[in-house]
Amino acid sequence: MSDQAPAVSPGHLYVVATPIGHLGDLSPRAAAVLGSVDRILAEDTRTSGVLLQQLGIQQPISALHEHNERAQTEQLIARLTGGETLALISDAGTPLISDPGFVLVRAARAADLPVVAVPGPCALVAALSIAGLPTDRFTFIGFLPAKGGARRQALASLRAVPHTLVAYEASHRIVDTAADLAAVLGPDRPVMLARELTKRFEQSVSCPAGDLAGWLQADANRQRGEFVLVIGGAPVAASDEVEAAAVLKVLLAELPASRAARVAAELTGLPRKRLYEMALMAGGGDDR
């Protein structure tokens, strides 16, 4: 009898990460789980069919994507409850990270069914790990809006975030998004662009936001493939001032400018003189 635990247990839902390019990144455990479950749920059965064929895995496969996830979830929960083992995979990387699966995983947890992660590749983590930007805290913003106005608005709402931002982007929008980064966050904001991670034409570049669109336009090949953008956080002074402006706004509703500046200085630790200037600019009355 083998002393190795079986790869899967009855009634479990396995959330399995698959490669984001390089087949060698599929873990032996992921292969064992995919080769042992009763059924594999895939975002696109044709895309995943190729991967599974390469691995010699012949488990039954069905589609689970954003259009049928809600409709499928009830019967999938019934299958799990009946003791079937299921594996969820997406086209690339970790399911649920800008990919389907949330509805099913939430329902499985609500039904107290075991949900097990089989971790592995994820483009956002891979990009972050090579960006050379702070990783102690970061915000993943998924895909920015496709339309320019909405995209710039979304970026403006993130302008003061002091920690690293990570975004996914498609090839047909990468140049416009790069230009918007510089226009909205400022040309000096540090960025790292990773394209085609783990693939043949993998490339990554670190530069100020103001240089990124030019770098992409210098060679049409640089605009091809899949992209992750890692964006440095707002300079501390800028984010402090945004916070101070919000504090001042509240104070100025009740107090004249100099008193509002004095209270704001105590609350934020910023210089009173600078806060007084900001209060006057915000329309506070000069009572000195």
| Interface with ligand SAM (CB under 6 A) | 20-21, 90, 92-94, 97-99, 122-124, 168-170, 194-199, 226-228
Please, what is the minimum distance in Å from the beta carbon of residue 225 to ligand SAM?
7
Please, what is the minimum distance in Å from the beta carbon of residue 197 to ligand SAM?
3
Residue closer to ligand SAM by CB (options 14, 227) is 227
Residue closer to ligand SAM by CB (options 17, 57) is 17
Please, what is the minimum distance in Å from the beta carbon of residue 287 to ligand SAM?
53
Residue closer to ligand SAM by CB (options 189, 195) is 195
Residue closer to ligand SAM by CB (options 81, 139) is 139
Residue closer to ligand SAM by CB (options 88, 252) is 88
Residue 15 bridge partners (DSSP): 88, 117
Residue nearest to ligand SAM (CB): 93
Residue closer to ligand SAM by CB (options 21, 233) is 21
Please, what is the minimum distance in Å from the beta carbon of residue 265 to ligand SAM?
43
SS3 per residue for the chain:
CCCCCCCCCCCCEEEECECCCCHHHCCHHHHHHHCCCCEEEECCHHHHHHHHHHHCCCCCEEECCCCCHHHHHHHHHHHHHCCCCEEEECCCECCCCCCCCHHHHHHHHHCCCCEEEECCCCHHHHHHHHCCCCCCCEEEEEECCCCHHHHHHHHHHCCCCCCEEEEEECHHHHHHHHHHHHHHHCCCCEEEEEECCCCCCCEEEEEEHHHHHHHHHCCHHHHCCCEEEEECCCCHHHHHHHHHHHHHHHHHCCCCHHHHHHHHHHHHCCCHHHHHHHHHHCCCCCCC
**What whole-number distance in Å separates Cα of residue 65 and Cα of residue 99?**
8
Please, what is the minimum distance in Å from the beta carbon of residue 24 to ligand SAM?
13
Please, what is the minimum distance in Å from the beta carbon of residue 203 to ligand SAM?
10
Residue closer to ligand SAM by CB (options 7, 228) is 228
CA angle 161, 166, 170 (to 5 degrees): 130
Please, what is the minimum distance in Å from the beta carbon of residue 249 to ligand SAM?
37
Please, what is the minimum distance in Å from the beta carbon of residue 255 to ligand SAM?
48
Residue closer to ligand SAM by CB (options 84, 99) is 99
Which of 236, 205, 212, 230 lies closest to 139 in space, CA to CA? 230
